[in-house]
Amino acid sequence: QQPVQSPQAVILREGEDAVINCSSSKALYSVHWYRQKHGEAPVFLMILLKGGEQKGHDKISASFNEKKQQSSLYLTASQLSYSGTYFCGTGDQGGSEKLVFGKGTKLTVNP
């Protein structure tokens, strides 16, 4: 079952914050976040494992609520370089290496 991402698209001005959500109807073991810039390959951002942890690096962080089967990606004080499409990939109890990706959220950061 493909996870549902929201919003589908968001436009920001540099310095603004954004939240991207990822929801699944299945019990999750892990949530992975990737960013894909136009014309490039997806690039791994971070992984969150069952346990409700929160992670982050630089000004991008994420949370994982396993009871609600949801994850959120937080982008703080956005930079132009944050523009791209963000995908969540979910792994179930059977093996987190086999991911099911959402349809993506397109983030545009303008000057």
Site of interaction with another protein (CB under 8 A): 2, 32, 34, 40-44, 47, 87, 89, 91, 95-104
Q: Which is nearer to another protein, 34 or 82 (by Cβ)? A: 34
Which residue type is seen at 46?
M
Q: Which is nearer to another protein, 68 or 98 (by Cβ)? A: 98
Q: What are phi and psi of 29, to 5 degrees?
A: -100, -35
Q: What's the closest the beta carbon of residue 42 comes to another protein, in angstroms?
A: 5
Q: What's the closest the beta carbon of residue 108 comes to another protein, in angstroms?
A: 16
Report d(CA 79, CA 89) in Å as an integer.
24
- Tokens 């960013």: give the residue: 35
